[in-house]
Amino acid sequence: MKMHAVIAGVGMTPFGKHMDQGLKALGAEAVRAALADAGLDAGALEAAYVGNAAAGLITGQESIRGEVILRGMGIGRLPVVNVENACASASTALHQASAMVSAGLYDVVLALGVEKLYHEDKRRTFGAFTGAVDVEALADIMRMLASSAKEGGAGTAAEGAGEKRSMFMDIYAAAARAHMHRYGTTAEQFAGVSAKNSLHGSLNPRAQFREVLTVEDVMRAPMVAEPLTRPMCSPIGDGAAAVVLVSERKARTLGLSRPVRVTACVLRSGWDHGPDEESLAELCAREAYEESGVSPADLHVVELHDASAPAELMTYEYLGLCPKGAGGRLVDEGTTKLGGRLPVNTSGGLLRKGHPVGATGIAQIVELTEQLQGRADRRQVADARIGLAHNGGGNIGIDAAATCVTVLQR
C-alpha cells in the first residue's frame, strides 16, 4: 500500500504590504506557526524545501534564500533545497517535500513559501512577472498581446503591459476575450467571481483585502486591460506560508487527532499543444484524480489559482467541475460560493487574500488543511473531508509554464 505524507502543522503570515519586514522575518513567522501547530520543535526537522520566485530581483538575495531564512531562526545542519518555479514555487516545494516523505527518506520535513513583492520602484515589481515568460521571445509576446487587444477593440489593453501593470493581466485578458467570444461568457460573470471571493476574503483575517464588493462595484472599478477591471486582477503582496509534513509512522507517534494526508501531488510543465487539445491543468487534474482515487464530484472545497477572475472561471472547466464553456453558469448559480455545492477559494483566493507569488501555493494548502480539520471559523465548509489545490506558474506559448495539482484528504 502506498504511503502518504501527512500534514502535521500549518502556519502563515497575513498577506499584504510589509515594507518593514524582510524575507527572514516573514519566513520565520510562518515556520514558527507551523511548528507550533505540529507540536514540534525545530530540531525535529530533517530537511527543508523553500519556495521563492523573485527575491533576487526585489531584495537582491540570491542563491541561498532558504538557508538565510532558516539560519536567522537558528536552524542549520539540515539539507535545504531552494525552489524557484514562478507562481508555482511553493507548490513545487510542497511536491518535493511530500515526495521525499512518501518515499521514506525523511520523517519530518518543512515546506516553506515566502515572497516580498512590494518595492518603491514599481517597475522592479512588474519585472518579476515579465521574467516569468520566455524573455528571448518577449518582443514577440508584447506584439502579440497588443495585436490581440486591438483586434478585440480593447484600447486600454493595447499599451502599458509590463510597465503600468503585470503583463500577466494582459495574458489573462486575452484569454478572457477568447472565452467570451467562443462561449458567450460575460464580463458580469467574471465580476461575479471577484464579488464571491471578496465575501470569502472578508471572513479571512489573513487576507490582504477585507472589503465586500458587489458585481456592480467590480464592474464600475477602473479598467486595467479589457475586460479586466482592477478587482478582477490579483494584487501583489508580501507574505509567507509553511507546512510541516511527516510520515505516517511519525504521525502515529505524534498521535495526530485530525491527520490530513497528501493523497496526490502532481507537478508538470507545459508543452506545445493545440488550443482544443488537453491543457496542462487538465493533465495535472486528471492524474491527481487517478492517483488519489477521487473524482471532481467527491470534492468538498477547492483552492485554485485565480490570478485573475477569468482564470478562476476557466479553471472550473480545466478541473472538470463543469463542462467546457459552462464556468459562467457555476458563478450564476452560486455553486462555488460558501453555502454552495462546491465552495472555491474560501480564503478569498489570490484576488482578495493576495498573491505573494512564492508563497501562494502553500497558502492554499494552509487554507485547505484548516478547512478539512474544521478550523476555518466563519468560512468553514460543513464536513469538508476532501480538498483540491491548483497552482500555476509562468507562461510559455498558450499555457502555463508549470502547474501543480494537490489532493488532500482527512
Of these residues, 4, 18, 87, 300, which one is catalytic? Answer: 87
Amino acid at 390: H
Of these residues, 284, 355, 390, 404, which one is catalytic? Answer: 355
Torsion, CA 232, CA 234, CA 235, CA 236, rounded to 10: -160
DSSP string, 275-334: TTSPPHHHHHHHHHHHHHT--GGG-SEEE---SBHHHHHHHHHHTTSS-TT-HHHHHHHT
CB under 8 Å to 138, separation ≥6 — which residues? 130
CB under 8 Å to 203, separation ≥6 — which residues? 338, 348, 377, 378, 379
| 8 A C-beta contact, residue 174 and residue 149 | yes
- Indicate if 355 belongs to the active site: yes
**Segments in 54-132 forming alpha helices (H):** 55-58, 65-71, 89-102, 122-130
Calculate helix-pair angle for 360-372, 89-102, nearest 10 degrees: 60
- Residues forming the active site: 87, 355
